[in-house]
Amino acid sequence: MKNLITGNSFLAFGVILAAGISTASADERAITYTEDIAEILFDKCSSCHNPDGIGPMSLLSYEEVRPWAPLISYKVEQQEMPPWHLDKTVGIQDYKNDVSLSAEQIAKVVSWVENGALQGDPSLMPSQPELPDAGQWQLSSQLGEPDFVVKSPPYTVSANAQDQWWVRNTSFEGLIDEPRYVRATELKGSYPLGVKVLHHGHAQLRSSDNQGNRASGPVGRQGVGKGGDVFPDGTGMLIYPSGSINWNLHYFPINEVVYDEQAEAAVWLYPKGYTPEFQTRGEQFFAADSGPGGLWANDLLLPPNSIKSMQGVRVLNRPALITSFRPHMHMRGKAQSLEAVLPDGSREMLARVDRYDHSWQINYEFGEDVAPLLPAGTMLMITSTWDNTADNPNNPDHRQWVVFGQRGVDEMSHLWLGITYLNDDQFEQLKAERSARLTAASGE
Ligand code: HEC
């Protein structure tokens, strides 16, 4: 190890130059944990890699980090960690919740490890990061306490089994006394074990009032790596005082029985009497409903040892603003993209995930000024690619035929879109507001 440390310092210097980092200090001295790396890990890893987090190990001190250094370098260089699986070469690149490392940060981590993963001067260690409290609502720091919380019926998750899921309804009564607009929602497993077993889930509310008006939409959708949903300012989801919640929860066992697990969904409302300008029905299920092969259920068939792509389209019959993109396939899933073919015939790649990993259900939230604002008649094209070969490390068995199904070893293809449908005036208004912002920002 000693030899490696001293022998490699020259090499590390070369890597830094190649990556174009030009700060004098980093060129002149070795990269060290306390001075260079700790702040990157605190900022980009510690929210999960802490004793209470979903990461398998804590990364809060040199002692904790050092044994993992080679694997950290590998995962960071492969862009598997932090979990952000977008293809950075195509499509929209500005996201509100981007947790990925910059090219410079990646180069720094890699060269630090090549250089022997030195600790450096302990007195230069940055102060410990503030850690999220896994028992708290993540959105409460931004929005305060929720207006109400609903709980799923209890379910005992066995210690060792295949993944498990169920669907059941609970009633929704007495939590609001008049029609209200939802501002934000968040769904999570209970603390401390439920948060670890809940892989993804939905709490879909169907509500009505006594005049027969009805509305349906999610009071929470969860997935590993996905946070709560906050609608853009002035956008809300209408709910009525009575109805039922359809719970659809999917668990992965964790080697330990989790008794009577109850997932919880929190809802933040707009003030009473407020009618938002834009109405949404929340994050929506989105599969192609036409086109070659379609993409749902019966068409899905993967031969053993094959790579296969399928494509399907869906036409927007009204203008829409798309605020987020969350791909969903299972263990053979490799890539999924969303493209728009506009009524003028032009075609635009909106977003593509090229390192899909079913362990993660990441919601990619578009930056405000780049969120796709699409006219009526736009065709949305979904392309899914599966790798059912032995080269796919997530593939449990490349000798199997794979068909559609709910289990992780079966396959699926759909995505979840944060979408707000607009009327023509709203569409023109949002377009004008955006171009005014962009003009102002460009200093004209
Ligand atoms: C959103 C939560 C989250 C963030 C942020 C995150 N990780 Fe992870 N990490 C996990 C989870 C969960 C796993 C285990 C599942 C997996 O590998 O996907 C993991 C696995 C790993 C592993 C592999 C461990 C093993 O035994 O195979 C390494 C190394 C790692 N993370 C390093 C990092 C580094 C370095 C960062 C920051 C640059 C980071 N992670 C950011 C949650 C996270």
Strands (E) in 229-332, as ranges, are: 229-230, 235-239, 242-251, 258-261, 264-269, 278-279, 283-286, 301-302, 307-315, 320-328
Ligand 1 atom 19: residue of nearest CA: 55
Q: Is 435 in the pocket of ligand 1 (CB under 6 A)?
A: no
183 alpha carbon – ligand 1 mean position (Å): 31
Q: In this predicted model, what pLDDT tens digit does every residue of 408-429 receive, in sequence order?
A: 889 888 888 999 999 999 999 9
The whole-number pLDDT of residue 79 equals 92
d(CA 170, CA 89): 45
* pLDDT over threshold 70, residue 7: no
Strand partners, 57: none
Q: In this predicted model, what pLDDT tens digit does every residue of 121-173 receive, in sequence order?
A: 999 999 999 998 878 899 999 999 999 999 999 999 999 988 888 899 999 99
Ligand 1 atom 24: residue of nearest CA: 56
Sorted by where each starts, the structural domains of the chain and their CATH numbers stand as: 2-124 (no CATH), 140-278 (2.60.120.230), 283-428 (2.60.120.230)
Average pLDDT over residues 195-204: 90
Record the pTM. Answer: 0.85
Q: Which among 318, 286, 283 has a CA at the least distance from the CA of 419?
A: 283
97 alpha carbon – ligand 1 mean position (Å): 17
Average pLDDT over residues 223-236: 89
Average pLDDT over residues 12-16: 39
Ligand 1 atom 26: residue of nearest CA: 56
Q: Is 54 in the pocket of ligand 1 (CB under 6 A)?
A: yes
Q: In this predicted model, what pLDDT tens digit does every residue of 78-117 receive, in sequence order?
A: 999 999 999 999 999 999 999 999 999 999 999 999 999 9
The residue type at 154? P
The whole-number pLDDT of residue 296 equals 55
The whole-number pLDDT of residue 78 equals 93
Structure tokens at 29: 């001295």
46 alpha carbon – ligand 1 mean position (Å): 10
Q: Is 74 in the pocket of ligand 1 (CB under 6 A)?
A: no
Give the CB-side neighbour count of residue 268, counting CA atoms within 13 A: 20
Q: In this predicted model, what pLDDT tens digit does every residue of 275-303 receive, in sequence order?
A: 999 999 888 877 765 443 345 556 788 99
* pLDDT over threshold 80, residue 13: no
In angstroms, what CA-CA distances link 383 with 79, 271, 292?
22, 41, 11
Q: Is 71 in the pocket of ligand 1 (CB under 6 A)?
A: yes
Q: Which among 255, 192, 181 has a CA at the least distance from the CA of 215?
A: 181
d(CA 247, CA 167): 5
